[in-house]
A and B are shown apart, each in its own frame.
Chain A
Amino acid sequence: MNPYQLSRPALNWLLASIALVLLPLIGRVPGWLLALAAVCIAWRLLIHQGRLSYPHWSVRVLLLLGCSAGILVSFRGQIGVETAVALLVLGFLLKLLEMYQRRDALLVVYLAYLVAALALLFNQSIPLAIYQLVVLAVISTALRSVYQGSRVDGWRPLWQVLRLFGQALPITLVLFLLVPRVEPFWQLSWQQGNATTGLAEQVAPGDVARLTRSADRAFQARFDGTVPAQTQLYWRAMTLSQFDGRRWRLADGYRDQGTQQGPSAVGAAAAIERERAPLNYELILEPTGQRYMPSLALPVTFAGTLKRRQDGTLQLQNELLQRRQFALGSQLGRNLQDLPRPQDSALPQGSNPRSQAYARQLWQRSERNPQTYLQAILQLYHDRFSYTLRPPPLPGESVDQFLFDTRQGFCGHFASATAVLLRAVGIPARLVSGYQGGEWNPYEGYLTVRQYDAHAWLEAWLPPAGWVMVDPTAAVAPERVERSAEQLFARDEQFLADSPFSPMRWRGEWLNRLRMRWEAVNYSWQRWVLNYHQRQSGLFRDWLGANQLSRAVLLTTFLLGVLLALVACWLLRRNRPVPLHPCDRAFVRLQAQLAKRGLPRRPDESVSAFCQRLQQHYPEQSEQWRRLAEQYTRYRYAGEGSTEQLCVLIERCRRRLA
């Protein structure tokens, strides 16, 4: 047999690894590609059974061209990671149909490794990571069985590979922990094309309520030291100051203006920053596809990839396409001091006339005192308004309708109306969009903020205090701020309407605890594994002190050396020569005696053949050699006679020679 041909177990393992590699890609590559995979695998099996033949080259070329075009059409010509993965999958499926020999199989195996790793771009959960580890073992088994020798055995390669993996995992751990991570010095960002839920850069009445339909995680936070009270957890993401009578938007040119980098401070804020130690915390932000970055109050320390705007909110340099971890420090309990700009008090001409008239009236009644005025507004909400997840639609002058007709709304309505009332009397005010509160996980001690924690409030410029935070929702529904949204809305059917299977819907105490545990495990996974590159330098500083890099290299080399040496010892432990059977040992002694007399046993000579030769050489002892040959053969091959008997016989022969 051609030693380079594929054996049956090798083919089986290969097909199994292809099927396993493709499983996590369901939903990522076009469905027809998976159907094609099933067809190709079945075809290859039938070829192996001899029921079908290899397709003609023209068929393969047509398939290749047709399917490549199909992939481009399926992805609408967008070149992204998914397109690349789909093309790779296509490549190794078609290679399957022309896999004659070892070389072809190797290509399939290597592509399988690549695709298995790329699947981790789409999903990095613990179950998938474990699954991919299993898949890698199966692919390696396929590789091992391709190199199986003359003895072909289906399961043997699997055990060998598992043993190999057992040795490889400690080495992998050392490499993972100690190999210094580098920042990408190039930027190749293929869009990963999944729409994410999150805050929008403009808010119309009712927009925020839509987010409560989703239980997707927005971010997780862990605090150094004391955790702020729930009522202090106002996560500011964006301030919206452009108002068109209905919608609030980010100010024009806002993105690139008035931003500053690094932890230096804004004017008067600089003094504050030095005053009190900031609250340090760590945020793991889910991909938003946008550039906002929620933070508490005034962030004073933040990474270089972030910028702080004039209004104290943070902004990412690029759209966030991957979950990332940030370390932040915020100054709590102080108002922002950046000077209001014209758009902070502008109202479109003639919009919401009833509100504007009412505002002037109330302003007079409050004796033009901003504090009293604000209190009057909040008191009004408290007395006459109600808070609901299902606000009635407001098709016209939205603030007028809300204030005078419906009087029901969600946070966005209250914030928007308050800001309009303030601006109408010349007090600068801006809407803040972000998140409020979060769910505390007691097992790992961190806070999870979900999309349904999205919130809108406002800030009013009240000198000399600066920008004062005002949350009208707290006036109408204080429980919204004091408790988490989940506790508040749990009975509302609008809540989580888009997440029918979310574990957040689990109500039982026991189930809830289970969910919390699982989330805690996931959080640690996120912090220690998925974001390890951000922790590594800190760990190095703690463990290795100065000269981190060279010490890391030394330590890696040392540990690798130790681990490899252990494996080598284990491998070579059976290096000791095989101990001879007592009879053979006696026979070897006899042989040595004979060799001295010029009668060495030839390497290809069996014991009985040797004895036959001896019979000819010592005709007078012929009987003795014949018996020796017979007893030896009987003992070794038929299991007759005892060891001692044979040894004695051999000894006797030897002594007679001497």
Chain B
Amino acid sequence: MSRSIPLFDRPLRQLLRRADTRRSRARSAVLTQNRIYILPSRQGWVFILLLTILALIGINYQNNLIQAVAFLLTALLLLSMLHTYANLAGLKVTALQAQDCFVGEKAAFELQLGRTTRRDYEHVELRLAGGEPLVTDLIDSEQQCLRLYLPAPRRGRLASGPLLIETLYPLGLLRAWSWVDIGLEALVYPQPKAGGCLPQAYEPADEGIGQLADGGDEFGGFERYQPGMPLQRLAWKAYARGLGIHAKSYPAARARHCWLDGAQWPELSVEARLSRLCHWALLLERQGELYGLRLPGVELAPAHGDRHRRKVLRALALYREGTT
């Protein structure tokens, strides 16, 4: 839709995308009869063949008991239709969120399966197109959070695609299914690959910070722990003594920063370069150093922390995404 508005293209698209993801976050669907399909399963067809054989034997030998068995199994088949349908009708699927991953890993999509009725739901199978099935029940609980995984072979955005909800309850003779578009999207970061040297782009920090940073690699005292601080910096001994969680500060570490530059390693392909940048970004983050990212069209100032890391990875994931 944004293609029709060439002006303000990028900001508008971002806005729309944000609106889109927000909408999809709250997106939920209740399975009703106009989206549930039901047909005999493969085993069901074999069962129908069995019924036919029994009926023929019953007729051939004029054996009413064998015919009664055939009728009983027919009744089970007919009833299965209702039970199978009832085992999907009234389920409510809510898309929660997607979890990003690296190429080669599996992206997780979180869903909530709830019910709008008071019936038990048993043996409900959920599967994303291209993913592994997950079997679950809703017997005593009102709802359940589930995680479905999709392999992420390529960098960029990974849409969850439609969700297949199916059930073979109670006897596996009939299969009821429904497709729900959950509209989640995960980011797939480049696969981190070690290689090259640490970028040589050390630059002196601002003077002010330099003052503060006096002390180099030396231990600079404790500071209050904040979520997101690297675990290596935690003062475990202090914690063990019952003094609460503190982090050791190394002011010098803050003093240096480096730039991860997409123009490095020109001999490598784009993907290989991104993989290497990703590796370094993760490493620097782990070591608690400041790092910035410079890609054509993107520049992220040196910083540190979970949020920064996510920003960097996102930029790496989406770099020139539209072109490939």
Contacts and interface: CB of A to CB of B under 8 A. Distances in A.
Contacts of B94: 603
Interface stretch (B47-55, B202-210, B262-270, B289-297): B47-55
Given A117-B69, A602-B25, A578 B118 contact: yes
A540 to B, nearest CB: 16
Contacts of A181: 59, 67
Contacts of B133: 3
Interface in A560-587: 560, 564, 567-568, 571-572, 574-578
B73 to A, nearest CB: 7
A2 to B, nearest CB: 10
Contact of B69 (A120, A169, A188, A560): A120
Contacts of B34: none
B118 to A, nearest CB: 4
B26 interface: yes
Contacts of A268: none
A150 B64 contact: no
A121 B66 contact: yes
A121 B63 contact: yes
Interface string A261-284: 000000000000000000000000
A25 interface: no
A171 B75 contact: yes
Contact of B28 (A149, A564, A603): A603
A560 B75 CA distance: 9
A176 B71 contact: yes
A144 B82 contact: no
A273 to B, nearest CB: 30
Contacts of A175: 71, 74-75
B91 to A, nearest CB: 12
Contacts of B78: 171, 560, 564
Interface stretch (A193-201, A508-516, A527-535): A527-535
A131 to B, nearest CB: 12
B135 interface: yes
A2 B26 CA distance: 31
Nearest to A186: B60
Contact of B83 (A113, A571, A575): A571
Nearest to B59: A184
B54 A164 contact: no
- Most chain A CB inside 10 Å of its own CB: which residue of B79, B115, B119: B79
Nearest to B120: A574
A568 B78 CA distance: 11
B151 to A, nearest CB: 18
A564 B249 CA distance: 73
Contact of B112 (A150, A151, A571, A603): A603
A110 interface: yes
A530 B63 CA distance: 7
Contacts of A531: 64
B172 A567 contact: no
Interface residues of B, number: 62
A223 to B, nearest CB: 24
Interface string B75-89: 110110011001001
Given A144-B171, A567-B79, A575-B117, A533 B62 contact: yes
A168 B50 CA distance: 18
A289 B71 CA distance: 30
A132 B171 contact: no
Contacts of B53: 114
B57 A532 contact: no
B72 A168 contact: yes
Interface stretch (B1-9, B122-130, B224-232): B122-130
Interface string A178-214: 0101111010100000000000000000000000000
Nearest to B47: A110
A136 B172 contact: no
Interface in B31-46: 43, 46
A529 B64 contact: yes
Contacts of A468: none
B68 A172 contact: yes
Interface string B155-180: 00000000000001111100000000
Contact of B65 (A114, A124, A148): A124
A9 B90 CA distance: 29
A572 B69 contact: no
B64 A574 contact: no
A140 B66 contact: no
A575 B119 contact: yes
Contact of B50 (A113, A150, A529): A113
A172 B71 contact: yes
B68 A114 contact: no
Interface in A1-38: 3
B62 A322 contact: yes
Contacts of A172: 68, 71-72, 74-75
Contact of A151 (B47, B50, B118, B137): B137
A129 to B, nearest CB: 6
A628 to B, nearest CB: 22
A574 B75 contact: no
Contacts of A576: 117-118
B318 interface: no
B142 interface: yes
Given A148-B122, A175-B71, A188-B60, A168 B139 contact: no
A603 B82 contact: no
A149 B136 contact: yes
A418 B198 CA distance: 127
Contacts of A571: 82-83, 86, 119
Contacts of A322: 61-63
B66 A117 contact: yes
Nearest to B46: A110
A456 interface: no
A326 to B, nearest CB: 13
Contacts of B71: 171-172, 175-176, 179
Contacts of A568: 82, 86
A600 B53 CA distance: 60
A184 B63 CA distance: 11
A574 B133 CA distance: 28
Interface in A473-531: 529-531
Contacts of B25: 602-603
A324 B90 CA distance: 52
A151 B140 CA distance: 11
Contact of B170 (A136, A160, A171): A160
Contacts of B74: 171-172, 175
Contacts of B142: 578
A179 B59 CA distance: 12
B287 interface: no
Contacts of A602: 25-26
Contact of A167 (B79, B122, B125, B171): B79
Contacts of A564: 78-79, 82
Contacts of A164: 76, 79, 83, 170-171
Given A106-B172, A114-B50, A571-B86, A120 B60 contact: no
Nearest to B76: A168
B298 interface: no
Interface of B: 25-26, 28, 43, 46-47, 50, 53-54, 57, 59-76, 78-79, 82-83, 86, 89-90, 94, 96-97, 110, 112, 115-119, 122-125, 133-137, 139, 142, 145, 168-172
Given A3-B135, A117-B54, A151-B137, 4 more contacts: A147-B168, A168-B72, A533-B64, A603-B112
16 contacts: A116-B69, A117-B57, A120-B69, A129-B65, A132-B65, A143-B172, A148-B122, A149-B137, A176-B71, A186-B60, A574-B119, A575-B89, A577-B117, A578-B118, A602-B25, A604-B97
A-B pairs, 7 with minimum CB distance: A149-B123, A171-B75, A168-B75, A175-B71, A574-B118, A149-B137, A120-B65
